[in-house]
Structure 1
């Protein structure tokens, strides 16, 4: 894409090529200062005396300067590049020699801008190979995602680096809960690009709401409603709906590249040119992509795949059974394994719950090989039971399996969970809490798993859910795989929630097990006025290391 030809070589002094306009405010109005002396130059890649329109790649490197400018935006049909340093590379794609107009906005303080345009005449000779088009598009709506289960699926390195994720390489599932892994990308044959920002909320009907992941200071370019949480230089779970844009294939300097229009992106928002070089596409159903960010700091790397994760491929690393209770002796729970929480607790056990916990056989007993925790209506209130392994069995890391059948009824709130053993000294949520299974009768058959820790307490816990259609009519296995690198939550051996564990979380020390059936409360909700009783039934509890 050509070097602005002869007029460019004269540094664009000609007023026809430096049309300064669209000044939105008085440059002298207080702290609001509009940029002045905006100059844009263009260098067409490969342009020389024999190739006046470039090397056929269609690539033009632009440089914009201005007084009082904080950042720049380059706009051409289907392209938007934001660059704080005034440098942008745009690859045009229409075959042959064509003239393109590029609009440059120089932004000053207070958001005021000054606009300049420039025309470039560029040669494009690249036509994408059919096998690449077929790989991206497939038959029907082929869907791509970040290959989160593979090391190096996300990372960074130096600008123009040639080693994938040279400086930082994310481990498997490391960025779970950030708003990236539930995104899906579709390259439609008609040239439209569809970004689904949450693929988990489209069943049974489409829900366009979602969240995304990106670089602080750049992700705000999306103009979404905001939200999210700052974690270092990242913004996680930035609220952003599904959207459509356009895509095309180019090959600057012979490097196959996906170009997305506007602010469309893949994986992690970094601004820049929105061009993703295809570094490697040799593996079936997989591609390695890289792109430079809008700050000119790093190249970001992604591995994308068109295959959904196979939940049945989960293999536990923990296979040595170290503790179990099969509830094979009728009567009270084994006192060598379990102790009780009794009474109403402080403020309804901290959740405005309505039950009083007892050790009465009316509320808890082992019968015919099953532990039954029963909540009952009792003289205008409710009784139930809660047992735990505190001071009896505490452990760090492992696989917990609980086979259970859940109660029904509005207001019922059964839970299988773990609490940090140091809660009485460090307090909650500093102790950490791992909720393996929670279910509420007011949302029948929805199973929740949640992590609570500082910054993620109460309703702000890191949570996911799945549907089990026979949760209250059949026994199912609810389990958690807890390692130093991650905590995975499963139902019947299928992973539905992965949390990246790190040295900064409280999930690297002893925890103990808890089984209980609460009534009402902040999560359990309104109790059915006709409620009489319901039971949480546990077939066994096992822990492997």
Structure 2
């Protein structure tokens, strides 16, 4: 009886071991990438300008045997990833600065090889006036300019026959009227948000205070637990959401739109940590069309539908609900 019992244990272990072996073979051999090589090309680099032409643009090209993916930590608080190893990055700290860049080549089952090196890059772009308007030199809170018609809305990024040129840089498809998102249970969080810009040395820190919920475009609802039970039509709505951590704003020259010079400041803001200006359309990059001490107009392109540009008009005046009884 004891012999039979021991035999059963041995057979069970053998079956289990064989099963594990079969499971392991499904993933194939685990191979760590090797021969990682990184080429660095600083835009405008020459014998007289070894740190580049001041744009701060650097193109990285990495190769490695058996690599499936490459990730970059640029040493300036930002990261990137690519399947083919090639990526462009703009460094924006003023002057010549040293950055410790880490490249990771990843193979099967997460096996990885890394390489770290230091590069010196010159950046000459700055928009000190915009930073002053945003922060007042210390810290400033911005809100939706709810009393304005068209304070929020959407327009095309490509002109179609019959459209006026102005539709390219205005919310021509749908300008929301003044107070147009009050008194609706699906949008009740929208005007509560506070967008805070704080000066920290020569840098600007952005913080979104959303008080626990964010207004999402309907194409993103399923990614964040929606739509809710009271939204059978899958309309845009507020969902519970923890705002991203505050982070440094990257200011860059606007180069990816054709908005006329007289209708744009030609300065763009890239918010850290995938942050956004209250309304979620998957984008963290905002072109500044207009900005003064107490009013600004921003333009951002929807990430999952680049044919649509969204417009935000913000103010430093705290919103006032003209009809408090409705909520």
State whether TM-score is above 0.5: yes
Please say if residues 229 and 237 of structure 1, whose CA atoms lie closer than 8 Å, have aligned partners that are also in contact.
no
Q: Verify the 8 A CA contact 1:40 1:118 in the aligned structure 2.
A: no
1:414-463 deviation line (CA, Å, top 9, x unaligned): xxxxxxxxxxxxxxxxxxxxxxxxxxxxxxxxxxxxxxxxxxxxxxxxxx
Paired position in structure 2 for 1:96: 95
Is the contact between residue 220 and residue 281 of structure 2 (CA under 8 Å) also seen in structure 1? no
| Higher CA-based Rg | 1
Q: Distance in 2 between matches of 1:249 and 1:73?
A: 17
Pair 1:280 & 2:290 matched: yes
Per-residue CA distance 1:516-537 (angstroms, 9 max, x = gap): xxxxxxxxxxxxxxxxxxxxxx
Matches of 2:301 and 2:61, distance apart in 1: 16
Q: CA deviation at 1:285?
A: 1.7
Flag the structure with higher strand content: 1
Unaligned runs of 5+ in 2: 1-22, 159-164, 256-265
CA-based RMSD of the aligned residues comes to 5.0
Residue equivalent to 1:289: 298
Aligned counterpart in structure 1 of residue 274 of structure 2, from 263, 281, 286: 263
Deviation at 1:242, TM superposition (A): 4.5
Aligned residue number for residue 448 of structure 1: none
Q: Deviations for 1:208-231, whole angstroms, at most 9, x for unmatched residues? A: x333435856995xxxxx433288
Deviation at 1:287, TM superposition (A): 1.8
Q: Could you tell me how far apart the structure 2 residues matched to 1:39 and 1:234 are? A: 48
Tell me what 1:138 maps to: 136
> SS in structure 1 opposite 2:169?
coil
- Give the number of equivalent residue pairs: 272
Helix, strand or coil for the counterpart of 2:131?
helix
Q: Distance in 1 between matches of 2:172 and 2:88?
A: 24
Unmatched tracts of structure 1, length 5 or more: 1-25, 199-208, 221-225, 315-488, 498-545
SS of the aligned residue for 1:193 comes to strand
C-alpha deviation, 1:244, in angstroms: 3.8
| Pairwise CA distance, 1:175 | 5.9
Structure scoring higher RCO (CA < 8 A, sep ≥ 6) equals: 2
- 1:43–1:167: structure 2 CA closer, same or farther, 3 Å change rule? farther
Q: TM-score, normalised by structure 1?
A: 0.39
Pick aligned residue for 1:196 from 205, 209, 225: 209
Could you say which structure has the higher helix fraction? 2
TM-aligned CA distance change 1:116 to 1:310, over 3 Å: same
Q: Given the two structures, how large is their TM-score scaled by the length of structure 2?
A: 0.59
Identify the residue that residue 213 of structure 1 maps to in structure 2. Answer: 216
Paired residue for 1:237? 238
2:145 maps to 147
Structure 1 residue 196: deviation in Å? Answer: 0.5
Shift in alpha-carbon separation, 1:266–1:233, aligned structure 2, 3 A: farther
Selected match of 1:306 from 316, 320, 327: 316
- Separation in structure 2 between the aligned mates of residue 73 and residue 218 of structure 1, nearest angstrom: 30
Paired residue secondary structure (2:121): strand
- Determine the C-alpha separation between the residues in 1 that align with 2:114 and 2:154: 36
Deviation track 1:235-266 (CA, whole Å, cap 9, x = no partner) reads 74342235542224534369433333222222
Shift of 1:145: 2.4
Q: 1:228 to 1:85 in 2, by over 3 A?
A: farther
Give yes or no for contact 1:69–1:108 (8 Å, CA) kept in 2.
Answer: yes
